[in-house]
Amino acid sequence: MENKVGFIGGGEMAYAVAMGMLKGGLKPASIHVSNPSPGKLERYKKEGMNTTSDNIQVLQSCNIIILCVKPQIFPTLMKEMKTRGFKSKNQLIISVIAGLTNAKMEEIFPDSRVIRTMPNTPCLVQSGVFLYSAGSSATPADVELLLQLISPCGECISLAEHLIDAAQSICGCGPAYIYTAMDALADGGVKMGLPRALSIKLAAQAFVGAGKMHLETGLHPGVLKDAVTSPGGVTICALHELDKAGFRAALINAVTTATNRSIEMRKYNE
């Protein structure tokens, strides 16, 4: 049987993952997307994917379901499934919903297999991170199928479920941290007389290059940082300003707060 992948929710994360899958060779006709807003479905239509405003239609027609709604919306989806008498049977249910645990999914979908995941938006350009933790009902074949679908999106990392909240607070939220830093660096460049487009390009390339330096050398970020800080030089003076402003503490606090918020979001599924 040909796999049919159904996305419940058509927001940014769903689009990033769907496009990553397409670039990996999945046929557009194999992807079905539901969203209440017709405007959000237009870009999926342009890529040849099947679209509808009916969640139950997608749930009934696909053997692989990817839950991509916001945590606050998931209770509404559960109510809709109950009202319309939908019961999942022998499907692979994949969640990218923050705070939705495997145990809760197995309670909701007792006759299907579940895998909790958390991707990030760079999956759109096949440079993302896709965290996953299989539920007790999932088989090795289910995990293999998941990897076939998501590996084109970027780096796939299996980890214990209790680590997902913290891990997603780095890689899931991380792009937003980076974009904020890029924007601030660009503002600094503009302040010093650089054209904005050039400032943004320089900041973006600095992040790409720095990440690649670590990934290809395996060197600790602190070692790489020390390699570009000469005694009394420009970089060490700049880093001093960052430390005075609480740069490192702000990032640590951001990860802590994001982790706690992810855990707190479990309340929407109780």
Read off the tokens for 122: 């760079």
Using DSSP, state whether 73 is helix, strand or coil.
coil
Binding site residue list: 8-13, 55
State the Cα angle at 143 between 165 and 57, rounded to 5°.
85
Residue closest to 64 by CA, chosen among 101, 26, 38, 36: 26
What residues form the annotated binding site for NADP(+)? 8-13
Q: How far apart are the first and last CA of the chain?
A: 35
Amino acid at site 137 = S
Q: 219 CB contacts (<8 Å, ≥6 apart)?
A: 213
DSSP 191-246: HTT--HHHHHHHHHHHHHHHHHHHHHH---HHHHHHHT--TT-HHHHHHHHHHHTT
The rounded distance, in Å, linking the Cα atoms of 122 and 19 is 10
Identify residue 197 by its one-letter amino acid code: A
218 Ramachandran zone, left/alpha/beta (phi>0; psi -120 to 50): left
Annotated binding site for NADPH: which residue ranges?
Answer: 55
Compute how many other C-beta atoms are within 10 angstroms of the C-beta atom of residue 22.
Answer: 17
